[in-house]
Amino acid sequence: MMGLFLCPKVYISRTYLAPIAFNYMSQKILITGGTGLVGSVLIPMLKAKGHQIVVLSRTKKKHPDYEVFEWDYKRDYLEEGALDGVDTIMHLAGAGVADAKWTPERKDEIYNSRIKTSLLLYNELQKGEHQVKTFVAASAIGLYGDDTGNQLMRETMPVGHNFLAHVTDAWETATNKISSLGIRLVQLRIGIVLSQHGGALVELLKPPVAAPLGKGKQYMSWIHIADLAQMFIESAENENYVGAYNAVGPKPETNRDFTKKAAKAFGKFFLPIPVPSLILKLMLGEMAAIVLGGSRISSQKIEEAGFKFRFPKLEKALENLSTK
């Protein structure tokens, strides 16, 4: 499964907030994609640390927890005042990769909602009328290709050749322009985000029984959503974070092992007979590459930067999510 993370609206559990200590070095942080899977967990964690939140949205509406400014990449529009006083931008916006079949129109939306939004932000920032010092951009392990086998992929590995690799490469190329403005840039290459409120884990457990997909040998490089949100926070707060980091847990699992452990944690029956690749291709079309492919991704670089995982092992991550 390749991770250009999904972004449904979710309910935020207070369990994610428990370990967060108040931070008196508060920042004003502008977030795009704030109502998605990651943003809905990230924003309460940031607020618990004393940060002021501003959100960019395609619709102008009031929210009790943060100020909302309108933007629209299709009109090349950013509402006046959105960047006023902002110290850090967290760019999470992007159409969900697995939310709909990949028609030509959907593929254009997947691409443009990432690249054109990034270029819109760059064009606004290059005007120089702001105090933004840090830009933390979502990226994805899809950069490495739809199936990298057993090789452990590090940040220096070459770009893959499939659709998602093309999208992610263009995404990072667009956000790389931000660093030319003297703004510290961090790019988090996100893997399979584990949440009980949306994303790959929920989809995997939807059928009556849980079964491996395809051969079941493809690696799933996963991360608990609380760890991912914390990575975004540390990327904003720690000036030593610079450049691209794989945002995955330290222990990837094969699809078969992942499915078996998830079934056990959530009380589902595990059927060891794999779902044939042909059936998945007929059901999903080109998008089947997301579930039939896989990557074994290294988290070494971000751990060397000082990041400590709350959930380094899949069993603990699933236990935490299954008890909410």
Is residue 56 within 8 A of residue 71, CB to CB? The reply is yes
- pTM here is 0.92
39 burial type by CB count under 10 A (0-12 exposed, 13-18 middle, 19+ buried) = buried
Q: State the Cα–Cα distance between residues 108 and 87, nearest whole angstrom.
A: 31
Bridge partners for 78 per DSSP: 71
Residue 295 pLDDT greater than 80, yes or no? yes
Residue 84 pLDDT greater than 70, yes or no? yes
pLDDT band at residue 316, thresholds of 50, 70 and 90?
Answer: very high
Phi, psi of 21 (to 5 degrees): -90, 150
pLDDT band at residue 61, thresholds of 50, 70 and 90?
Answer: confident
Q: Rounded mean pLDDT of 128-136?
A: 95
pLDDT band at residue 62, thresholds of 50, 70 and 90?
Answer: confident
Per-residue pLDDT, 314? 98
132 burial type by CB count under 10 A (0-12 exposed, 13-18 middle, 19+ buried) = buried
Residue 46 pLDDT greater than 50, yes or no? yes
pLDDT band at residue 25, thresholds of 50, 70 and 90?
Answer: confident
pLDDT band at residue 9, thresholds of 50, 70 and 90?
Answer: very low
pLDDT band at residue 17, thresholds of 50, 70 and 90?
Answer: very low
Residue 19 pLDDT greater than 60, yes or no? no
Q: Rounded mean pLDDT of 240-266?
A: 98
Chain segment 275-289, per-residue pLDDT in tens: 999 999 999 999 999
Is residue 52 within 8 A of residue 26, CB to CB? The reply is yes
Instruction: Look at 127-131, 154-158, 190-194 and tell me which has the smallest mean pLDDT.
Output: 127-131
Record the tokens describing residue 313, joined without a space: 């092992």
Residue 258 pLDDT greater than 70, yes or no? yes
Chain segment 142-154, per-residue pLDDT in tens: 999 999 999 999 9
Bridge partners for 69 per DSSP: 56
Instruction: Look at 8-17, 240-249, 277-286, 308-317 and tell me which has the smallest mean pLDDT.
Output: 8-17
pLDDT band at residue 85, thresholds of 50, 70 and 90?
Answer: very high
Per-residue pLDDT, 60? 86
Mention every residue, 6+ apart, whose C-beta is less than 8 A from residue 221. 3, 141, 191, 192, 246, 248, 249, 252, 294, 295, 296, 297
Residue 7 pLDDT greater than 80, yes or no? no
Per-residue pLDDT, 14? 39
Q: How far is CA 209 from CA 39, 204, 217, 274, 294, in A?
A: 30, 9, 19, 11, 22
Q: Rounded mean pLDDT of 79-88?
A: 97
Candidates 249, 222, 229, 210; CA nearest to 138 is 229
Is residue 206 within 8 A of residue 263, CB to CB? The reply is no
Q: 28-32 and 52-57 as β-strands: parallel, antiparallel, unpaired?
A: parallel
Per-residue pLDDT, 11? 34
pLDDT band at residue 3, thresholds of 50, 70 and 90?
Answer: very low
What is the DSSP track for 230-264? HHHHHHHH-TT--EEEEES-S--EEHHHHHHHHHH
Residue 15 pLDDT greater than 90, yes or no? no
Q: State the Cα–Cα distance between residues 155 and 281, nearest whole angstrom.
A: 30
Q: Rounded mean pLDDT of 76-90?
A: 97
Per-residue pLDDT, 24? 44
State how far Cα 284 lies from the chain centre: 22
Instruction: Give all domains of the chain, ordered by start, each with its CATH number.
Output: 14-322 (3.40.50.720)
**Sheet strand arrangement including 88-91:** 77-78, 67-72, 52-57, 28-32, 88-91, 134-140, 184-190, 243-247
Chain segment 183-199, per-residue pLDDT in tens: 999 999 999 999 999 99
pLDDT band at residue 88, thresholds of 50, 70 and 90?
Answer: very high
Percentages helix, strand, coil for the chain, rounded to the nearest 5? 35, 20, 45
